[in-house]
């Protein structure tokens, strides 16, 4: 990967034909270290948030050993890059072949379930294995998350005690997990989910080895300022102490967004300015899926074609992506410098989570140039103070995010 101090140097140095993913390994390592220093348990990276090889390698190099994988493709990819990595197959619904191959070919022992039929599939495909770690996924409230994940997975409170009981009979290690929804804005959401878990475990009348609080840890997007991340860990630690579990029960978490959001930005070119419309070379079918489909507010800074930061009076712009689909437009209006013109660039920050992971090849797009940079232009949940005072990230002035992915 080519290295530059900032994306501005990249603009100065060469002709950029495709959008550039500006990777920031230092910020990835900082996020990983932060969790490793403070989370009182095991951290499993949710690979789906960003499966890029440089992210997997970077997290492993930073000391993270557990990966939450959702498919055979993720298992194969992580295992091929980091053979010593420990894998947990935490998608509650898996094909029989995936269960078989994960267990027999890749040594996966940790599987999530949210119904008796999935439990039965695991028993059958592993040949009645006695060394399984089964994690029962509970349905919990997602009321405090910006991107709720409810309705699809998770056993109801009504059915959970029976499933926990059933799983205990075959599991070597037994856990419960949940997901409070992505970009959770209230630490108390974790406490509520843990209190519910505790009640359901008591009703099941069995011992539990693992409490997995899932993902949902927030990043710092414009207009979406969560409480400090430490407050989430304090709440979880306190709630864990109050849970009806054994002394030696362990705590797990599965962060995706919080670990990787800061670690990538995308540098897009303005292929045409038509009055207040900017036509970009990336959009809804590329790294900006969430900016268009969920109305997600990303920080931005504008860069002139000669590599100078664009500043001065701002006016509202519409931002269109490169494909012919009329839905390839970012939600809202964006206050950007009035001087912007065809051939200039916009750097859009915090696309490390669910950005590159969601790109498609629609219209022949979806090709990116990966470079490495070391500046820190956008505010981060990990260290607000590091943000240089000279740069004011701009963002949409439309409505805030809404709805599930």
Ligand X SMILES: Cc1ncc(COP(=O)(O)O)c(C=O)c1O
Residues that bind ligand X in the complex, under the rule CB under 6 A? 46, 48-49, 68, 90, 149, 179, 182, 214-217, 254-258, 353
* Minimum CB distance to ligand X smaller for 68 or for 344: 68
In the complex, minimum distance from the CB of residue 339 to ligand X, in angstroms, rounded to a whole number: 37
Strand stretches in 83-209, DSSP E:
86-89, 110-113, 133-137, 145-147, 173-177, 182-184
Q: Which two tokens stand for residue 144?
A: 């405090």
> Which string of DSSP letters, residue by residue, matches 242-290?
TSS--TT-EEEE--SHHHHGGGEEEEEEEEEEETTEEEES--TTTTTHH
In the complex, minimum distance from the CB of residue 39 to ligand X, in angstroms, rounded to a whole number: 13
Q: Between 53-61 and 25-38, two packed helices, what is the crossing angle to 10 degrees?
A: 40
Q: Which two tokens stand for residue 262?
A: 């800061």
Classify burial at 303, counting beta carbons within 10 Å of its beta carbon; exposed 0-12, middle 13-18, buried 19 or more: buried
In the complex, minimum distance from the CB of residue 286 to ligand X, in angstroms, rounded to a whole number: 19
Cα 44 from Cα 64, distance rounded (Å): 8
* Minimum CB distance to ligand X smaller for 148 or for 332: 148
CA proximity to 80, closest of 113, 102, 59, 106? 106
* Minimum CB distance to ligand X smaller for 46 or for 87: 46
Do 224 and 258 contact (CB within 8 A), yes or no? no
Cα 56 from Cα 271, distance rounded (Å): 33
* Minimum CB distance to ligand X smaller for 48 or for 109: 48
In the complex, minimum distance from the CB of residue 256 to ligand X, in angstroms, rounded to a whole number: 3
* Minimum CB distance to ligand X smaller for 216 or for 332: 216
In the complex, minimum distance from the CB of residue 4 to ligand X, in angstroms, rounded to a whole number: 28
Torsion angle of the four alpha carbons 384, 387, 391, 395, in this order, in degrees rounded to the nearest 10: -40
* Minimum CB distance to ligand X smaller for 48 or for 301: 48
Q: Which two tokens stand for residue 274?
A: 């038509």
* Minimum CB distance to ligand X smaller for 255 or for 337: 255
In the complex, minimum distance from the CB of residue 145 to ligand X, in angstroms, rounded to a whole number: 8
* Minimum CB distance to ligand X smaller for 122 or for 270: 122
Q: Which two tokens stand for residue 385?
A: 């103070």
Do 258 and 33 contact (CB within 8 A), yes or no? no
In the complex, minimum distance from the CB of residue 255 to ligand X, in angstroms, rounded to a whole number: 5
Question: What single DSSP character describes residue 370?
Answer: E
Q: Using CB positions, name the residue nearest to ligand X.
A: 215
In the complex, minimum distance from the CB of residue 46 to ligand X, in angstroms, rounded to a whole number: 3
């Amino acid at each position: 990967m080519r290295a530059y101090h900032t994306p501005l140097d990249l603009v100065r140095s060469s002709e950029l034909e495709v959008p550039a993913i500006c990777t920031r390994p230092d910020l990835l390592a900082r996020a990983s270290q932060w969790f490793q220093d403070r989370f009182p348990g095991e951290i499993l990276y949710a690979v789906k948030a960003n499966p890029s090889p440089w992210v997997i390698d970077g997290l492993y190099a930073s000391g993270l050993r557990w990966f939450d994988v959702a498919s055979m493709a993720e298992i194969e990819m992580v295992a091929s890059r980091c053979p010593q990595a420990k894998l947990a197959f935490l998608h509650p619904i898996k094909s029989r072949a995936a269960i078989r191959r994960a267990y027999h070919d890749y040594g996966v022992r940790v599987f999530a379930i949210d119904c008796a039929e999935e439990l039965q599939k695991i028993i059958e495909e592993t040949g009645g294995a006695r060394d399984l770690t089964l994690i029962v996924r509970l349905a919990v409230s997602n009321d405090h998350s910006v991107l709720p994940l409810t309705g699809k997975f998770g056993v109801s409170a009504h059915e959970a005690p029976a499933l926990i009981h059933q799983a205990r009979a075959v599991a070597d290690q037994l856990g419960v997990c949940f997901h409070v929804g992505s970009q959770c804005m209230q630490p108390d959401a974790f406490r509520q989910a843990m209190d519910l878990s505790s009640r359901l475990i008591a009703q099941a009348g069995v011992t539990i080895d693992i409490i997995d609080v899932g993902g949902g840890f927030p990043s710092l997007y414009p207009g979406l300022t969560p409480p400090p991340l430490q407050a989430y860990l304090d709440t979880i630690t306190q709630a864990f102490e109050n849970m009806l579990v054994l002394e030696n029960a362990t705590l797990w978490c599965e962060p995706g967004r919080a670990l990787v959001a800061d670690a990538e930005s995308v540098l897009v070119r303005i292929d045409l300015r038509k009055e207040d419309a900017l036509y970009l070379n990336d959009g809804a079918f590329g790294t900006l899926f969430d900016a268009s489909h969920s109305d997600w507010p990303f920080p931005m800074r504008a860069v002139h074609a000669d590599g100078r930061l664009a500043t001065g009076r701002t006016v509202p712009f519409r931002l269109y992506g490169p494909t012919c689909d009329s839905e390839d437009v970012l939600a809202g209006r964006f206050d950007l410098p009035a001087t912007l013109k065809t051939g200039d660039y916009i750097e859009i920050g915090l696309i490390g989570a669910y950005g590159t992971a969601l790109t498609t090849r629609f219209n022949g797009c979806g090709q990116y140039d990966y470079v490495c940079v070391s500046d820190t232009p956008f505010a981060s949940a990990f260290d607000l103070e590091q943000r240089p005072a000279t740069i004011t990230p701009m963002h949409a002035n439309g409505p805030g995010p809404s709805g599930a992915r």
